[in-house]
């Protein structure tokens, strides 16, 4: 099946093709917008980056988007998020699909992570997603259905050391998504949690972390053979099929099942992994 054909199910479910995307100016958000633009969807992009939003309009219009509107919004500002979503839904008679992809990262040992970094990441990654859902849901409920995809991370279940704030924030996104999906299952609204592993994106541009940890994270991201477009396509396709949990790539699905089936064994596995990594780091320094 060709890439374009993979989205036929989404078009069939939502023939009016109206979508809003937070974090829509770059990374996974923009890649998702590009796939939808090729299918003639009408798009509302929410982001803080004015310059990238401006660039996205021309690119998405050239790809075939039915309409593109941009909204300069910090998802931590609930009033601004609601106003942007209301404006888009009002202009297009409703809302069918939402991708809540805006997010930030914090990496540091727990005792070295200041309270203000916890407040920052939770305000954006958890409260920002909650605010986005609170703005999107009424429009979907009014029209009898819709699909919300909240972008979490494989870090929501692969809870490694030195990333407690990030893991907590992404686990919160999964919990929120599951709760909302249960609440609205009978209304025609589906809520899916996407949990991708590391792929090449701009997440680290504004990350808060010690220099050595940020350097390591950038190396891991650079080595990833995953780019945003195929990740976006898989999330779109699998959520359109009705999947409530989208874990990718394949190796992370094995880890997800391992964690769910045997959490104690998984914790021991993670401890051994950390010990081996620390031993390798000591060996490199000694050499």
Kindly state whether residues 199 and 119 are assigned to the same domain: yes
Q: Do residues 153 and 109 lie in contact, with contact meaning Cβ atoms separated by under 8 Å?
A: no
Kindly state whether residues 153 and 266 are assigned to the same domain: no
Residue 70, beta-bridge partner list: 45
Higher per-residue confidence, 266 vs 215: 266
Can you tell me whether residue 199 is helix, strand or coil? coil
Can you tell me whether residue 251 is helix, strand or coil? helix
CA atoms of 34 and 193, how far apart (whole Å): 20
pLDDT tens digits, residue range 107-151?
999 999 999 999 999 999 999 999 999 999 999 999 999 999 999
User: What pLDDT shows up at residue 227?
Assistant: 87
User: What pLDDT shows up at residue 21?
Assistant: 98
Kindly state whether residues 219 and 277 are assigned to the same domain: no
Quote the tokens at residue 82. Answer: 């609601």
Alpha helix segments (H runs only) across the chain: 8-13, 27-38, 50-63, 78-92, 115-122, 128-143, 164-184, 211-223, 228-240, 250-261, 263-286
Q: Is the predicted pLDDT of residue 287 greater than 60, yes or no?
A: no
Q: Is 166 a catalytic residue?
A: yes
Catalytic residue among 97, 166, 252, 254: 166
pLDDT tens digits, residue range 22-64?
999 999 999 999 999 999 999 999 999 999 999 999 999 999 9
Q: Is the predicted pLDDT of residue 222 greater than 90, yes or no?
A: no
Kindly state whether residues 125 and 260 are assigned to the same domain: no
Kindly state whether residues 204 and 286 are assigned to the same domain: no
Kindly state whether residues 125 and 215 are assigned to the same domain: yes
Kindly state whether residues 168 and 274 are assigned to the same domain: no
| 127 DSSP 8-state letter | I
DSSP-derived secondary structure for 15-35: TT-EEEEETTTSHHHHHHHHH
pLDDT tens digits, residue range 160-216?
888 999 999 999 999 999 999 999 989 999 999 999 988 766 666 677 776 777 666
Higher per-residue confidence, 287 vs 84: 84
Kindly state whether residues 271 and 243 are assigned to the same domain: no
What is the model's pTM? 0.92
Q: Average pLDDT in the 236-249 region?
A: 97
The pLDDT confidence band at residue 19, using thresholds 50, 70 and 90, is very high
Kindly state whether residues 105 and 236 are assigned to the same domain: yes
Look at the chain and report how many structural domains it folds into.
2
Kindly state whether residues 133 and 264 are assigned to the same domain: no
CA atoms of 280 and 259, how far apart (whole Å): 25
Q: Average pLDDT in the 2-15 region?
A: 88
Domain that holds residue 60: 4-248
The pLDDT confidence band at residue 279, using thresholds 50, 70 and 90, is confident
Q: Do residues 14 and 43 lie in contact, with contact meaning Cβ atoms separated by under 8 Å?
A: no
CATH number at residue 27: 3.40.50.720
Kindly state whether residues 172 and 236 are assigned to the same domain: yes
For residues 108, 111, 112 and 114, what is the CA-based torsion angle, rounded to 10 degrees?
100
Phi-psi region of 34 (alpha: psi -120 to 50; beta: other; left: phi over 0): alpha
Kindly state whether residues 28 and 84 are assigned to the same domain: yes
């Amino acid at each position: 099946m060709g890439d374009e054909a993979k989205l036929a199910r989404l078009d069939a479910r939502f023939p009016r093709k109206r979508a809003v995307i937070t974090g829509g100016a770059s990374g996974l958000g923009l890649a998702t917008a590009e796939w939808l633009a090729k299918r003639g969807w009408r798009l509302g992009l929410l982001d803080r980056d004015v310059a990238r939003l401006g660039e996205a309009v021309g690119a998405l219009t050239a790809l075939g988007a039915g309409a593109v509107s941009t909204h300069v919004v910090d998802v931590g500002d609930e009033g601004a998020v609601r106003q942007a979503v209301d404006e888009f839904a009002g202009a297009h008679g409703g809302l069918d699909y939402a991708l809540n992809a805006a997010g930030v990262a914090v990496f540091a040992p727990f005792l070295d992570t200041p309270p203000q970094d916890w407040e920052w990441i939770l305000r954006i990654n958890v409260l920002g997603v909650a605010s986005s859902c609170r703005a999107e849901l009424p429009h979907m409920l009014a029209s009898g259905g819709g699909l919300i995809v909240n972008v979490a991370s494989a870090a929501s279940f692969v809870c490694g050391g030195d990333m407690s704030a990030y893991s907590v924030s992404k686990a919160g996104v999964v919990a929120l998504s599951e709760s909302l999906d249960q609440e609205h299952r009978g209304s025609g609204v589906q809520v899916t949690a996407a949990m991708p592993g590391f792929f090449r994106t701009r997440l680290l541009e504004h990350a808060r972390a010690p220099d050595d940890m940020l350097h390591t994270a950038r190396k891991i991201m650079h080595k990833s053979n995953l780019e945003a477009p195929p990740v976006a396509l898989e999330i779109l396709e699998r959520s359109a099929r009705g999947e409530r949990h989208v874990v990718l790539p394949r190796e992370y699905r094995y880890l997800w099942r391992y964690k769910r089936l045997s959490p104690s064994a998984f914790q021991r596995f993670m401890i051994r992994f950390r010990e081996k990594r620390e031993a390798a780091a000591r060996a490199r320094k000694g050499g």
